[in-house]
């Protein structure tokens, strides 16, 4: 067997090499969609199912979708040493679904089939997407196995909540394939970026080997972060409300990228219709007061909070229990407004603990009293947060768009311009700044 020091190691070719492991759970059928997302976006994918997985989805399906033969044991094509070569040459290993049995075998270093052998030889990031019944996920053995894997640098996503097999409902559902794909490609992008900024891809990212190679990319592992997203609604009557155009896209990108960096993430989402990011706890709210209550509660155990939501600044002073009707005389009712709670300023002033890093967003436009940055610097001082992410939203820019550009202001006066790019790219810049602040506390 070739030693790790002399074996071929992951690289970042034009077609990243992905091993898609599939273990034996009913959610195996969803991995077909994940496979298609990888192949249609140009990835070179090798599917490695367990024997049990083939009871749910047959080998011809995997072969047809990947364009490659499918093997489950170490006895096929022995001369190619597949149980070693697959892991050594991969840029990323994703297992979806990862059953309780697979998590246990991986945590204990078993290598009794091609998939677990591949996991042992992987010199690249490994992402596991669990799927099982709630009781199995919450069992002490599974909890310990997940903790072991995470400690070794494996990114184990939190399962989603929802309908399970049969009539059961709870935590343990496989995250949606598109969200697993988003996390996986984010991890790949960070591997590619890190290979040009200090990691040595010829030796497995410096002195780190195996699953530990991914640990350097999971700088939020062991951290709990809170993210708010979307726009709150303040009701005038049962059918009318004051709101804004926030789509929640930036907040969801922040939550997704934090999960990819290993964090425990609580996402407080106001009136957002986006699918839940993989590995993220989502708390849904409508009004500013509801958001305040949930964010403050989540921050009690958090290391950082990023307020990417757009809470309404005002609400109607009075709420009508019945729909306000038009009148024949054309009279227009007068609507008086009152201010809503300032969640960001309140958190900055009354931090649950001194180590909490508080990040705000400022959607600003310039006017006769000052420029966008003039208003942003004044807001940073007024709110008392550690960082302020400034968006110029003149003409409706940013809202609902897939791209973003911003300036990240620090309380120390530092300003980091982030050129127009994906909202995930901006999210990583924000988390980079947050991790620096956390390391100083």
331, burial (CB in 10 Å: exposed 0-12, middle 13-18, buried 19+): exposed
CA 337 to chain centre: 36
Q: Is the dihedral of CA 406, 407, 408, 409 positive or negative?
A: negative
Residues involved in catalysis: 244
User: How far apart (Å, rounded) are the C-alpha atoms in residues 80 and 389?
Assistant: 51
**Would you tell me how many other CB atoms lie within 10 Å of the CB of residue 441?**
11
User: Is-contact 398 404, C-beta < 8 A?
Assistant: yes
Residues 6+ apart with CB under 8 A from 76: 82
The secondary structure element, H or E, covering residue 377 is helix 372-383
Q: How many CA atoms lie within 13 A of 300 on its CB side?
A: 6
DSSP letter for 53, please: G
Where in 131-223 does DSSP place strands (E)?
155-156, 160-163, 169-173
Residues 6+ apart with CB under 8 A from 375: 362, 364, 366, 369
User: Is-contact 262 224, C-beta < 8 A?
Assistant: no
Q: Which of 132, 126, 186 is nearest to 161 (CA)?
A: 132
The secondary structure element, H or E, covering residue 171 is strand 169-173
User: Is-contact 20 38, C-beta < 8 A?
Assistant: yes
Residues 6+ apart with CB under 8 A from 290: 232, 270
The secondary structure element, H or E, covering residue 228 is strand 224-230
């Amino acid at each position: 067997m070739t030693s790790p020091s002399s074996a071929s190691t992951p690289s970042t070719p034009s077609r990243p090499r992905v091993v898609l492991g599939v273990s034996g759970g009913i959610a195996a059928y969803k991995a077909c969609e994940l496979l298609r997302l990888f192949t249609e976006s140009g990835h070179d994918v090798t599917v490695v199912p367990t024997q049990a997985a083939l009871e749910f989805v047959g080998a011809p399906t995997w072969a047809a979708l990947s364009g490659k033969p499918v093997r489950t044991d170490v006895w096929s094509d022995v001369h190619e040493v597949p149980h070693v070569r697959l892991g050594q040459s991969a840029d990323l290993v994703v297992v979806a679904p990862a059953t309780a049995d697979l998590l246990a075998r991986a945590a204990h270093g078993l290598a009794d089939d091609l998939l677990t052998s591949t996991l042992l030889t992987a010199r690249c990031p490994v992402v596991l997407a669990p799927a099982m019944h709630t009781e199995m996920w919450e069992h002490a053995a599974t909890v310990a196995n997940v903790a072991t894997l995470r400690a070794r640098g494996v990114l184990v996503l939190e399962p989603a909540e929802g309908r399970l097999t049969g009539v059961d409902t709870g935590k343990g559902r496989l995250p949606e394939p598109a969200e697993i794909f988003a996390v996986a490609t984010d991890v790949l992008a960070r591997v590619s970026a890190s290979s040009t900024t200090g990691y040595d891809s010829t030796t497995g990212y410096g002195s780190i080997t195996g699953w530990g190679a991914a640990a350097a990319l999971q700088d939020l592992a062991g951290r709990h972060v809170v993210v708010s997203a979307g726009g709150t609604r303040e009701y005038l009557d049962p059918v009318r409300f004051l709101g804004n155009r926030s789509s929640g896209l930036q907040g969801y990108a922040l939550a997704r990228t934090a999960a990819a960096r290993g964090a425990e993430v609580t996402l407080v989402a106001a009136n957002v219709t986006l699918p839940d990011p993989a590995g993220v706890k989502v708390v849904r709210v409508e009004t500013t007061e509801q958001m305040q209550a949930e964010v403050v509660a989540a921050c009690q155990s958090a290391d950082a909070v990023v307020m990417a939501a757009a809470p309404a600044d005002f609400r109607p002073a009075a709420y009508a229990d019945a729909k306000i009707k038009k009148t024949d005389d054309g009279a227009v009712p007068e609507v008086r407004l009152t201010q809503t709670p300032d969640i960001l300023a309140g958190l900055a002033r009354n931090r649950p603990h001194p180590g909490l890093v508080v990040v705000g967003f400022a959607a600003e436009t310039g006017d006769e009293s000052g420029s966008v940055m003039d208003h942003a610097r004044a807001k940073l001082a007024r709110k008392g947060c550690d960082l302020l992410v400034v968006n110029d939203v003149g003409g409706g820019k940013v809202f609902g768009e897939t791209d973003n550009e911003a300036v990240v202001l620090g309380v120390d006066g530092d300003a980091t311009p982030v050129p127009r790019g994906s909202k995930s790219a901006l999210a990583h810049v924000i988390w980079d700044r947050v991790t620096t602040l956390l390391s100083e506390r």
